[in-house]
Chains A and B, each alone.
Chain A
Amino acid sequence: MNILLVGKLPVAEWIEAFTNWLTHTFSGLFNFIQSVGNFIMDGITNTLSFVNPLLLIALITVAAFFLAGKKWTLPSFTLIGLLFIYNQGLWEDLINTFTLVLVSSFVSIIIGIPLGIWMAKSNTVKQIINPILDFMQTMPAFVYLIPAVAFFGIGIVPGVFASVIFALPPTVRFTNLAIREIPTELIEAADAFGSTSRQKLLKVELPLAKNTIMAGVNQTIMLALSMVVTGSMIGAPGLGRGVLSALQHADIGSGFVNGLALVILAIIIDRFSQTANNTTKSPNAKKNASKTNTFIALAALILFIFASLARLIFQGQSSGAGQTVKLTYVEWDSEVASTNVLAQVLKEQGYKVEMTPLDNAVMWQSIAKGETDATVSAWLPNTHADQYKKYKQDVVDLGSNLKGVKLGLAVPTYMKDVNSIEDLNNQADKKITGIEPGAGIMKAANKAKKAYSSLSDWELVSSSTGAMTTSLDQAYKNKKEIVVTAWSPHWMFAKYKLKYLKDPKKSFGSTESIHSIVRKGLKKDMPKVNKIINRFNWTQDDMEAVMLDINDGMSPEKAAKKWVKNHPKKVASWTANK
């Protein structure tokens, strides 16, 4: 008997309990941070978006020109890069990403530099903080997303939270290192002339450590940028969403373009921060440079504040801006179609719509906590049974919007001798190609693995929806065997000849429906929206029409518009004031 395996330590439960305790105890503080953070970041984003993109590009280029000492490389790269991003229609994403990086870096610096100084001043603190930093840097970034959602819900604030945890260490380490590396003689000199610790810090230590600290800050900025993609899984807006969605749809082109935009942004930020750090050696030039720099920075700040105020006044006058409806969905092709159509309908009714793609479990949680208003992508009763069980007290189920969906394992029709799950024995390397591990269908597939003895030694491979369809595409072209987790409506049934495998033990349930789930209190806050979502329903054919358009390269928004235009009667039946 191995004694270690008798009683498993309930570490996961402890951490769960601790996080829950934190969430409940400090919910007031977390909500305050969330609302303040959202307010600030929306302010920055809106102000930046309010400025005409071309004007902003010109301004940044001019700034680069002066910063780079009137050399042409940086400004021309900045100009071309930003124009490219603008041309690709990613300007708003860029602004969002920039805000996220700016705020994360700023918070990291505000926390990191004092912490680094404290570390440098005290060996005890250093011994305590160093292992924590190691822990922070080696823990996979995904892990930070979980408490981030628990504390701050979804959106840009948890993205910042996760980025800060991830990006903080270099600033702390470099600050500590820089101050400790100052020659003892200089520190002794400062002491011997009778400086207070504050004088020593401001007049000697920080000026001497500045370059190394800036190198750390530079690292921090880059790490914050790299967290943008990860953060988009919990609703952080920006270029990361494009990358993530491209991954889920296996869309190489748009993934590359979004990635390229991130690279351009990274290079610009990196060069800017490095150039700003290069101090000139000759004293007169230094004094002048710092004067002009301060002047330009001040002028820019005043302009920015002025612009924000102007925008606020301008907004105040143009009242009648509609209420905002927050829809959330999972990046599956079916849900992209339905959510875009609903968003289009709501927009035509004069509402502003925010669409947040999230991981399935996080989506349910966000509605339960009231951070988002509604989703039309709940697959019930089987696929999302776990989530429904967990959150049914905190959400309102408005019933189905699409009936007769089906889930199961599917194979290409050329695999003639496989017609039921029970026929599977050693085909396709004993692999079932699945989708995101958090998806409901994966739970069902696991159930099937347990239910069918023939599947006991099979492996369920999780990836993403896009990766699954790509694998299917490759296998289909090469006439190779493949078993995938499939659901309909889905465009793959239109594109390939596939068949569902019979499921005599009903692991995947019988047919299901897609439900609309809204947060509690939506009926009271936005009765009309609630009504529209309640009436929203359509058929598989409707959905597949939109899906196919999207799969043929039309943007989801366009495809949704097209559908809404072609089905006025149906739309009217949802929105009629009855």
Chain B
Amino acid sequence: MNKLEVKHLTKIFGKKQKAALEMIKKQKSKTEILEQTGATVGVYDVSFDVKEGEVFVIMGLSGSGKSTLIRLLNRLIEPSSGDIYINGSDISKMNSEELREVRRHALNMVFQNFGLFPHKTILENTEFGLELRGVPKEERVELAERALDNSNLLAFKDQYPSQLSGGMQQRVGLARALANDPEILLMDEAFSALDPLIRKEMQDELLDLQEKVHKTIIFITHDLNEALRIGDRIALMKDGQIMQIGTGEEILTKPANDFVREFVEDVDRSKVLTAQNIMIKPLTTIIGVDGPQVALTKMHNEEVSMLMATDRRRQLVGSVSAEAAINARRKGLSLSEVVDHDVRTVSKDTVITDIMPLIYDSAAPIAVTDDTNRLLGVIIKGRVIEALANTKDDADTEGGEE
């Protein structure tokens, strides 16, 4: 059963829409169309359907039309043409009265910058949708409090949004949408304004919640990792058109065109064959500046048990393990006295096959340095194995120069 069906949805902003449509059919780019007609293509001929209880992710770079698309679904932006069926009824043909009913009961939205009302308390924000529906005060307070309780925010119900952190505010935004008990939840880059740690937490929370409530969720993001984590199916957009729809696996393994392939290259390292493409940012401690305690704190924060040690000019000195740092702290030594100078280094152009034997018997990561012994990055086991696994799948061996 399809909860939501979108057919040939198009939105063009500005005048001269006809001319713009003609140009799109000729596969002209957005910029060309804008230069010639002054019209902006928001979304062009998009069709997809979403099943009941599915988390459908729409992904794309900024300017790809994904935010326009989600606003077309609840008609915050009026479509130029096309149909949107929710439970089989076409909302693009509804009058404002019917549309309002749909918005109040079937479709709710969570916003990138939370969209909370600064003049209302958390509780008043949460019950906003119910208030608009004319639910009696006692009942709506009860529903709102339950929704807040689910997000562990009940204690803050009399606070104002400005008194809460970003993550909390977004949980309120989510609670506000869920208090309404909608059939479909639209989430427009809901976690993009949060810092990475909170972001991960929120993604986990959303997944937990989804197990409980089984909502149909349309989720918009520009972050592939986020899409892969939470999406049942992913639609990838470019210039207002959908390039490919599929599961994460399908998108990674069978990219429909070059654009998709490039887009997912972040994850898919099939063509990466040199050290510089698989190295990651080194986690370092600076000898002569940091003490053992700082090194330990850094390890704790980054959730690792080893740091590369450099001097102030980012020249590689060696590595410091957690044991060594603890040892130094206990004995009151400085880091330079406990540094392990025996670190294997490779240059950035070393090919993977040469790195393999080195990494095999080294517990520590391998340092990538330039010819002045400057630390550029480190190579960890996982990345090498992943890269190799992919190259085996892929017969295609193009140069990995970026």
One of B97-105, B264-272, B369-377 contacting the partner? B97-105
One of B14-22, B26-34, B110-118, B284-292 contacting the partner? B110-118
Is A319 interfacial (CB 8 A cutoff)?
no
Instruction: Specify which chain B residues have a CB less than 8 angstroms from the CB of A195 in the assembled complex.
Output: 132
| A193: contacting residue among B103, B119, B121, B160, CB under 8 A | B103
How close is A195's CB to chain B, nearest CB, in angstroms? 5
Complex Cα spacing A207 to B119, Å? 7
Is A134 interfacial (CB 8 A cutoff)?
no
Q: Interface readout for A369-398 with B: 1 if CB under 8 Å, 0 if not?
A: 000000000000000000000000000000
Is B180 interfacial (CB 8 A cutoff)?
yes
Q: Are A194 and B117 in contact (CB under 8 A)?
A: no
Complex Cα spacing A199 to B160, Å? 21
Q: Interface readout for B87-131 with A: 1 if CB under 8 Å, 0 if not?
A: 000000000000011111001110111111111010000001101
A149-202 at interface with B (beta carbon < 8 Å) = 183, 185-186, 188-189, 191-196, 199
Q: Are B117 and A208 in contact (CB under 8 A)?
A: yes
| B112: contacting residue among A185, A207, A283, CB under 8 A | A185
Q: Are A185 and B119 in contact (CB under 8 A)?
A: no
Q: Interface readout for A247-286 with B: 1 if CB under 8 Å, 0 if not?
A: 0000000000000000000000000000000000101100
Is A204 interfacial (CB 8 A cutoff)?
yes
A192 closest partner in B (C-beta): B109
Known contacts A191-B76, A194-B132: A186-B100 contact under CB 8 Å: no
Q: Are B100 and A188 in contact (CB under 8 A)?
A: no
How close is A314's CB to chain B, nearest CB, in angstroms? 46
Q: Are A186 and B101 in contact (CB under 8 A)?
A: no
Among A191, A192, A195, the most chain B Cβ lie within 10 Å of the Cβ of A192
How close is A190's CB to chain B, nearest CB, in angstroms? 8
Q: Are A192 and B76 in contact (CB under 8 A)?
A: yes
Is B354 interfacial (CB 8 A cutoff)?
no
Is B158 interfacial (CB 8 A cutoff)?
yes
Instruction: Specify which chain A residues have a CB less than 8 angstroms from the CB of B104 in the assembled complex.
Output: 193-194
Instruction: Specify which chain B residues have a CB less than 8 angstroms from the CB of A284 in the assembled complex.
Output: 158
A279 closest partner in B (C-beta): B119
Interface of A is mostly: helix
Q: Are A194 and B129 in contact (CB under 8 A)?
A: yes
Complex Cα spacing A196 to B132, Å? 8
B115 closest partner in A (C-beta): A189
Q: Are A283 and B158 in contact (CB under 8 A)?
A: yes
Complex Cα spacing A203 to B101, Å? 18
| B113: contacting residue among A185, A194, A199, A283, CB under 8 A | A185
Instruction: Specify which chain B residues have a CB less than 8 angstroms from the CB of A199 in the assembled complex.
Output: 132
Complex Cα spacing A208 to B186, Å? 25
A423-465 at interface with B (beta carbon < 8 Å) = none
How close is B149's CB to chain A, nearest CB, in angstroms? 19
How close is B237's CB to chain A, nearest CB, in angstroms? 20
Instruction: Specify which chain A residues have a CB less than 8 angstroms from the CB of B169 in the assembled complex.
Output: none
Is B71 interfacial (CB 8 A cutoff)?
yes
B125 closest partner in A (C-beta): A189
Known contacts A185-B113, A188-B76, A189-B111: A194-B100 contact under CB 8 Å: yes
How close is A438's CB to chain B, nearest CB, in angstroms? 53
How close is A212's CB to chain B, nearest CB, in angstroms? 13
| A191: contacting residue among B103, B121, B180, CB under 8 A | B103
How close is A194's CB to chain B, nearest CB, in angstroms? 4
Complex Cα spacing A291 to B104, Å? 32
A181-236 at interface with B (beta carbon < 8 Å) = 183, 185-186, 188-189, 191-196, 199, 203-204, 207-208
Complex Cα spacing A191 to B111, Å? 12
Q: Are B132 and A193 in contact (CB under 8 A)?
A: yes
Complex Cα spacing A203 to B115, Å? 14
Complex Cα spacing A196 to B76, Å? 13
Is B10 interfacial (CB 8 A cutoff)?
no
How close is B98's CB to chain A, nearest CB, in angstroms? 11
Q: Are A208 and B132 in contact (CB under 8 A)?
A: no
Q: Are A208 and B118 in contact (CB under 8 A)?
A: yes
How close is B191's CB to chain A, nearest CB, in angstroms? 15
Q: Are A186 and B180 in contact (CB under 8 A)?
A: no
How close is B75's CB to chain A, nearest CB, in angstroms? 9
Is B74 interfacial (CB 8 A cutoff)?
yes
Q: Are A186 and B115 in contact (CB under 8 A)?
A: yes
Instruction: Specify which chain B residues have a CB less than 8 angstroms from the CB of A208 in the assembled complex.
Output: 117-119
B115-153 at interface with A (beta carbon < 8 Å) = 115-119, 121, 128-129, 131-133
Known contacts A188-B76, A204-B117: A196-B111 contact under CB 8 Å: no
Instruction: Specify which chain A residues have a CB less than 8 angstroms from the CB of B103 in the assembled complex.
Output: 191-194
Instruction: Specify which chain A residues have a CB less than 8 angstroms from the CB of B117 in the assembled complex.
Output: 186, 189, 204, 207-208
Complex Cα spacing A195 to B131, Å? 9
Among B100, B107, B133, the most chain A Cβ lie within 10 Å of the Cβ of B100
How close is A290's CB to chain B, nearest CB, in angstroms? 13
B97 closest partner in A (C-beta): A196
Known contacts A207-B119, A283-B121, A283-B160: A192-B113 contact under CB 8 Å: no
Q: Are A193 and B108 in contact (CB under 8 A)?
A: yes
Complex Cα spacing A185 to B192, Å? 15
Which A residues contact B (CB, under 8 angstroms)?
A: 183, 185-186, 188-189, 191-196, 199, 203-204, 207-208, 281, 283-284
Instruction: Give the 9 A-B CB pairs with smallest separation, nearest first.
Output: A194-B103, A194-B104, A189-B115, A192-B109, A193-B129, A185-B115, A194-B100, A207-B119, A195-B132
Between A and B, 19 residue pairs with Cβ closer than 8 Å are A183-B113, A188-B76, A188-B111, A189-B109, A189-B111, A189-B116, A191-B103, A192-B74, A193-B129, A194-B100, A194-B102, A194-B103, A194-B129, A195-B132, A199-B132, A208-B118, A283-B121, A283-B160, A284-B158
Other A-B pairs beyond A189-B128, A192-B109, A193-B180, 10, CB < 8 Å: A189-B115, A192-B107, A192-B186, A196-B132, A203-B128, A203-B131, A207-B117, A283-B158, A283-B160, A284-B158
